[in-house]
Homo-oligomer: A and B are copies of this chain.
Amino acid sequence: MRISALAADAGLPVATVKYYLREGLLHAGTATSATQATYDAGHLRRLRLVRALLGPVGLSVQQARAVLQLVDEPGDDLYSTLGRAVSALPPAAAPPGDESDPYPRARAALTALGQVYDPDFPAVAQLEGALAAAESAGMPMSAERLAHYGRVLSDVAEFDLDRMPQEPRGAVEYTVLGTALYEPVLLALRRLAHQDAALRRLQRAE
């Protein structure tokens, strides 16, 4: 298809598609003449991914380019590639302190959960910040709550990994989008579950 048809199918202005081409976010079409090229379903699929990364996921063009490079060239060490891809997502990790134990709360929490603790993984800094904020507000995560949340989210993680595509490029794309796009779903569902559970308790009490 022509670039105009591609843009129309993706629901984007032609100028935006040309901008993505210039920025290297979308691979070039197949030249059919000196001034024209043709695009296929692979381009449409990529446009949808680019739009998600720049839109709801909230990446800059530069960050999106880095993620797309990992999708395109996942390499042999898929575990490390997935880690790097998720690390590119917001929120940006706070830089580690130069102390010997920069994330004591996260380390203790992950140890209690029996999970791997890798201070280089940005979600560790994210967990440390979240635990510190709860603590300083006078609502520290109890060991009981941590164990419960941790068990529940391991259950979610197993579910998510069971459905990860085998093929490496698809696996990176699934991991990036599944991490970023389902997070707001999870938070909204928690708030709604609170509301639903509170209403049921109220009705039982009446």
**A52 close to B (CB within 8 Å):** yes
Is B178 touching A83 in the complex (CB atoms < 8 A)? Answer: no
Q: Which of A90-117 contact B (CB under 8 A)?
A: 106, 110, 115-116
Copies in the complex: 2
How would residues 156 to 183 of chain A score, 1 for a CB under 8 Å from any chain B CB and 0 otherwise? Answer: 1111110100000000001101110111
Indicate whether A127 sits within 8 Å of B188 (C-beta atoms), given known contacts A83-B195, A201-B161. Answer: yes
Interface centre among A52, A157, A181, A193 (most CB of B within 10 A): A193
What are the residues of chain B within 8 A of A158 when measuring CB–CB? 197
Indicate whether A138 sits within 8 Å of B48 (C-beta atoms), given known contacts A156-B149, A156-B193, A196-B154. Answer: yes
**A3 close to B (CB within 8 Å):** no
Is B149 touching A198 in the complex (CB atoms < 8 A)? Answer: no
Interface centre among A45, A48, A155 (most CB of B within 10 A): A155
Is A133 touching B52 in the complex (CB atoms < 8 A)? Answer: yes
How would residues 185 to 206 of chain A score, 1 for a CB under 8 Å from any chain B CB and 0 otherwise? Answer: 1111111111111110110000
